[in-house]
Structure 1
Amino acid sequence: MLIAHSEINRHLICDYSSLDLSNPEILLNALQQLRQLVIQEGEEIFNQWRSRIQRQNFLQSSQNLAYYLALRRHDLRPLQAALMPWGLSSLGRIEARVLPNLDAAIATLGAICGSCSDSLPNRPSLAAFFEGDRLLEQHTEDLLDAKLNQRRVRIMVTLPTEAASYYEFVRDLIQRGTNCVRINCAHDTSAEWSAMIANVRIAEAETGHSCKVLMDLGGPKPRIGIARCLRHAGANAPNAKQRIFRGECLLLTRDLPTTNESTCFQVNCTIPEILDQLEVGASVWIDDGHIGARVESITEEGVLLRITHARIKGEKLGADKGLNFPDTTLRFSPLTQKDRQDLDFVATHADIVGYSFVQEPADIELLQRELQARLPINASIPGIIAKIETPLAVSNLPELIVQAAGKQPLGATLLRIWCKIKE
């Protein structure tokens, strides 16, 4: 079997092109060498993470994650195709049990070949084979608590302002099976939040059902601040909703739109430093993908966009529409000044903290420091639900998981990264 060295990723990779994998003994040897490489490379990855992992019950999961990353450096398709005629695992759903799955396939193929058992890994027990699934369920319970009534899912409900003064509403939610309530920190104040949480705790005691409290930090919000259209008489009032069509131009500005004679739509961005990070050709999506645009030029006035996607009848363009920059690696703090103020309350009242625009391990570390600075000594740190919203966050996901779950319960939500193209 050929072992090739890749100058691209500097990892050993398996080259199966010259092998007759229909021969079970050759296939067995290929699997054994793959297992050896996965252990070697996986341990290297895990050792780089080890100092960041403080939770003992995350050690086994993080090691399996390291093995999985090592495994996925290799093209498994030839092995998968060769294993299937033997009725063995094609390694397609191996995420939760990398080594147990490899060991089971090798042990069974070794028995078919009549190989000496001393040269084969032990066949994993049923409990060992499904240990990864058990750990995943345990991590989920650590974050969101146990399921009710044999349900396969947990139920989360966002509380309205009325939940602060309407106890019966909160009690009924929990009585009917709500596992977690969400408080959106972009709305209301600490007074309402405190009343909501008090109602939740009273309802827990009355119903006998536990309920987690997720407090979702507002985070940075790239949005249109003020929109102004100057094409039509009387249409230059701020935030007047006008339709924009494919092929038209849109000037994205740092400051408020001007009242000059421009025939373009003008809008300003609520996070003006984003404009300094855009490049010609970059995609921009507006209003959850209803409007698509591309950067045509960068001027002193701002960034000129050309509309590439909109319905034939046009799309309404107004204030507070979301802006998405999928081609651009945005660099700004995921914690706003308001978030830091809200954390004074959130750190000591929330079971889970919702965290937007997480992109790098340093972003997780920032929130961990801010939480720890506000907690009493030896107090447990709240869990995190990290919102994965950018391509950079996706590429950094393993490091984000280790940085967060190494210290506290973690969940992740994968939000829309590339908006759907709409005709």
Structure 2
Amino acid sequence: MKVEQCTEREASRVTQFGQSKSGVEQLWRAALAAEQEFGAEFELVAPSMRESAVNLVHYLAVRRHDVRALQDELARLGLSSLGRMEAHVIASLQAVLRILYTLLQEPIPPDVAEELPVTFDTGPALLAQHANAILGMSPQDRRTRIMVTMPGEVADDPDLIRALVEAGMGIMRVNCAHDSPPVWERMVKHLREAERELGKRCLISFDLAGPKLRTGPITPGPVVVNWRPARNALGQVTQPARVRLVAHDNPPDPNVPTIPVEATLLNRAKPGDSFTFVDTRDRKRVLHVVEVRPGECLCEADKHAFVVPGTRLTLRREKSSIGTGEVGALATLEQWIALRVGDPLEVVHGEAPGCGATYDDDGHVIDPAFISCALAEVFSGARIGDPILFDDGKLRGVIRDVAADRLRVEITGAAGGMAKLRSEKGINLPDTDLALPAMTSKDIGDLAFVAKYADAVAMSFVQRPRDIDDLLREIGKLNASHLGIILKIETKTAFSRLPDLLLSAMRHPPIAVMIARGDLGVEVGFERLSEVQEEILWLCEAAHVPVIWATQVLESLAKGGLPSRAEVSDAAMGSRAECVMLNKGPYILETLEFLSDVLERIEEHHRKKSALLRKLQVAIRNPPKLDA
């Protein structure tokens, strides 16, 4: 058709077709040319991952361009806007090109007409195949698997493991940062028994702890226990304080003040008795015995009191004294360092107990607060001006000075205006290039156990391809080629190098990626987390690599029994991944059942980025009830 013979409107359409064709051709050529750039990487990937590696490179080439204007043009023409091309990049580009050539009445070039291995059918099929290989087959009622983190207590609670498997847990996650091999072995034993009883398969994944940057100890506080009853606005006691007196060999209760006392004294106590004593403020106080168990007494008190080791207790029955004893050894109170915006903080190498700042009579700092960090790489890698964050970002600072064994930090942000920095809290250095291997000596030791019992191993704080090299070398030593590898993306560096990490891991399939949104959110900034997790989902779909949606999914429900509205929406977003991970909590079974229901419902409406146009009851006049 000649342009001069067309109407003005038709001529405009032909021009649009031509411009769109040129734009799509540019992307198509760039994608094919990128294969030469990554030729060395292709030679190393496993044969089963070759097509997926090529598709990933095609996607990277396309995403080096701003395609938004072209997408608008294609959408106006009623064509695919390329917005769902991840799993089949060349097939998507060639499909649009073939239509544009046809509309322009031009012959379709042979290389555009050629069908490459990754098609609209084979791309999603490869992703599904790779997901099945490392995450197991998806349940019949939903596509997304559910991974559940095991608390240490389940080592002695086979009924809970059985209930989790029955409710739909597809992968049992064990965190090597907690507990020990004997505890892990009991967990595995209970799981295998549950599988046999229920006739269900549940995989096992172990997370290596990795080199977690944490704050060191803090100077111990006083050795004291105190309690306080609840009072109303008039000062009247509404609920007495509860206190446990226990024999020396009984474990403390973290929720109730616990005082060790000689067993001979406790054995004489009965409900209705009382223990009298004088506390550290020389005030007479009474503990009323309300319940007696072997080796302990549960008491109530209606006044605030403080006791220390050696405090003398007198057991009284009615008006008579029937025995005395002393308070035994107590744990020190947990301490913290209070920090505000503008405060200086020194981070020192080693494990010296940290402490707060000291001040002169005028309130000026004599010695700044300091905290230790055991990893030497922090001090060799940090640079002046680098940001530093503590405790999941509750404290933010900037490094103002660097020495061989210390960093001088200025606090620039504190949650609530004043934040308490405790020991064993995470440290993040998002802009610092730390020469820190992802595998520690502990990880290498744990890997021997993992290789024997696990289906997959998750690598924490992976940042560079050489980290994966280290893991593969250790796996080779253990002849553990059966182990799948999960890359935990939890640092800014790991995210920026994700394509290289994927190509490196493709040497040892099956592989998966976990979006570890806790540390990742701190590292990239919470305002960017939604954007970053989207990009990870796109890149992994292009690589046909399954994704695990992790960190604080339905956390309020798991820990407190009731989800927040935002958490439910977040859980539904997890349906775009191949697996959703739940953390431990007292309501974990209820959380698993709740999540399963949410995923089943949302998967009728979405698959990855595509909306599924299921018949909607709300579109019908006088629809049935919502739960129908």
Q: TM-score, normalization: structure 2?
A: 0.58
Instruction: Look up the equivalent residue of 1:347 and give its one-letter code.
Output: A
Against the structure 1 CA distance between its residues 105 and 187, is the aligned structure 2 distance closer, same or farther, given a 3 Å change threshold? same
Tell me the equivalent position of 2:341: 246
Query: How do 1:76-87 and structure 2 match up within 5 A?
Result: 76-87=67-78
Matches of 1:419 and 1:30 in 2, distance apart?
A: 34
Tell me the equivalent position of 2:504: 403
Tell me the equivalent position of 1:362: 466
Against the structure 1 CA distance between its residues 355 and 180, is the aligned structure 2 distance closer, same or farther, given a 3 Å change threshold? same
Deviation digits for residues 357-395 of structure 1 (CA, Å, limit 9, x no counterpart): 1111110111011011012xxx53311111112222122
Tell me the equivalent position of 2:482: 381
Tell me the equivalent position of 1:193: 184
Instruction: Look up the equivalent residue of 2:499 and give its one-letter code.
Output: P
Q: Compute the displacement of 1:61 (Å).
A: 1.0
Query: How do 1:13-412 and structure 2 match up within 5 A?
Result: 22-41=15-34, 43-54=35-46, 56-118=47-109, 121-122=112-113, 128-227=119-218, 240-255=335-350, 256-257=352-353, 262-299=366-403, 302-375=406-479, 380-412=481-513
Q: Compute the displacement of 1:238 (Å).
A: 9.9
Against the structure 1 CA distance between its residues 44 and 21, is the aligned structure 2 distance closer, same or farther, given a 3 Å change threshold? farther
Q: Compute the displacement of 1:45 (Å).
A: 3.7
Instruction: Look up the equivalent residue of 2:212 and give its one-letter code.
Output: K
Q: Compute the displacement of 1:217 (Å).
A: 0.9
Matches of 2:432 and 2:385 in 1, distance apart?
A: 10
Deviation digits for residues 62-118 of structure 1 (CA, Å, limit 9, x no counterpart): 110111112222332332232221111222232111101101110111121111245
Matches of 1:287 and 1:21 in 2, distance apart?
A: 59
SS of corresponding position for 1:35 = helix
Moved more, 325-334 or 390-399: 390-399
Instruction: Look up the equivalent residue of 1:146 and give its one-letter code.
Output: M
Instruction: Look up the equivalent residue of 1:247 and give its one-letter code.
Output: G
Matches of 1:418 and 1:200 in 2, distance apart?
A: 37
Against the structure 1 CA distance between its residues 358 and 197, is the aligned structure 2 distance closer, same or farther, given a 3 Å change threshold? same
Q: Compute the displacement of 1:264 (Å).
A: 1.5
Matches of 1:143 and 1:383 in 2, distance apart?
A: 6
Instruction: Look up the equivalent residue of 1:292 and give its one-letter code.
Output: R
Matches of 2:470 and 2:333 in 1, distance apart?
A: 37
Matches of 2:83 and 2:218 in 1, distance apart?
A: 49
Q: Compute the displacement of 1:21 (Å).
A: 9.4
Tell me the equivalent position of 2:5: none
Q: Which is bigger in relative contact order (C-alpha 8 A, separation at least 6)? A: 2
Identity, % of aligned positions: 33
Instruction: Look up the equivalent residue of 1:93 and give its one-letter code.
Output: R
Instruction: Look up the equivalent residue of 1:351 and give its one-letter code.
Output: D
Query: What 5-or-longer segments of structure 1 have no aligned partner?
Result: 1-19, 231-236
Matches of 2:37 and 2:132 in 1, distance apart?
A: 27
Matches of 1:301 and 1:392 in 2, distance apart?
A: 24
CA contact (8 A) 2:218 2:354 kept: no
Against the structure 1 CA distance between its residues 216 and 100, is the aligned structure 2 distance closer, same or farther, given a 3 Å change threshold? same
RMSD across aligned C-alpha pairs, in angstroms?
2.6
CA contact (8 A) 1:182 1:214 kept: yes
Deviation digits for residues 307-353 of structure 1 (CA, Å, limit 9, x no counterpart): 10013541111111110001111111111111111112111211110
Against the structure 1 CA distance between its residues 225 and 84, is the aligned structure 2 distance closer, same or farther, given a 3 Å change threshold? same
CA contact (8 A) 2:354 2:371 kept: no
Matches of 1:318 and 1:151 in 2, distance apart?
A: 42
CA contact (8 A) 2:463 2:493 kept: yes
Against the structure 1 CA distance between its residues 298 and 239, is the aligned structure 2 distance closer, same or farther, given a 3 Å change threshold? farther
Against the structure 1 CA distance between its residues 130 and 219, is the aligned structure 2 distance closer, same or farther, given a 3 Å change threshold? same
Against the structure 1 CA distance between its residues 299 and 171, is the aligned structure 2 distance closer, same or farther, given a 3 Å change threshold? same
Against the structure 1 CA distance between its residues 361 and 133, is the aligned structure 2 distance closer, same or farther, given a 3 Å change threshold? same
Higher strand share: 2
CA contact (8 A) 1:227 1:266 kept: no
Matches of 2:525 and 2:368 in 1, distance apart?
A: 24
SS of corresponding position for 2:420 = strand
Q: Compute the displacement of 1:183 (Å).
A: 1.0
Matches of 1:153 and 1:298 in 2, distance apart?
A: 47
Moved more, 212-221 or 200-209: 200-209
Tell me the equivalent position of 2:526: 420
